[in-house]
Amino acid sequence: MIKTHEKWLMDSLDKKEKFFIEANWKPDDPKTNEGKVLKFTFGDKIAYISRNDLNQILFSIGTPEIQRKLIPQTIIKKKWYETVLGITAQKDIKKGEKINCKVRIDLPSTEEEIIGEIKNLSRRGIKRFSDGTPLIAK
């Protein structure tokens, strides 16, 4: 998740219009930080959309494959060790009789949360304005 101020310059499909999308433009405001609200700037007009609304729209218009990628998944990798222990009895069973016990020892599991097949987001292609504000262009 992006936690700093980010600003993307976007082109319309016909490449005639440009607009900006901003996230975390007020880092001190808990209502807008952590990407909760996105700010769209079209020239001198500004529109705000919540992250939840945007996610619902993208999920609704997505193909089944895209929808699968948008659903958070948790992968838990479990490991265990199985062995057979041989025990020689001393009482209550015929002396000298062996008892074999199957034992399974669970090792600590690792958990990894992913969205679809995206594990790492690359920071390639990021340009910055002269004031240091990041700009991710198409």
**Is residue 20 very low, low, confident or very high in pLDDT (cuts 50, 70, 90)?**
very high
pLDDT tens per residue across span 78-120? 888 888 888 887 777 777 788 888 989 888 877 777 665 544 4
Q: Please name the residue that has the structure tokens 């992250």.
A: 51
Helix (H, G, I), strand (E, B) or coil at 19: strand
With a cut of 90, say whether residue 123 has pLDDT above it: no
**Is residue 13 very low, low, confident or very high in pLDDT (cuts 50, 70, 90)?**
very high
Write the DSSP symbol of residue 18.
Answer: E
pLDDT score, position 128: 46
Helix (H, G, I), strand (E, B) or coil at 51: helix
Residues 6 or more apart whose CB falls under 8 angstroms from that of 52 comprise none
> What percent of the chain shows pLDDT beyond 90?
28
pLDDT score, position 45: 95
Residues 6 or more apart whose CB falls under 8 angstroms from that of 51 comprise 35, 36, 37, 38
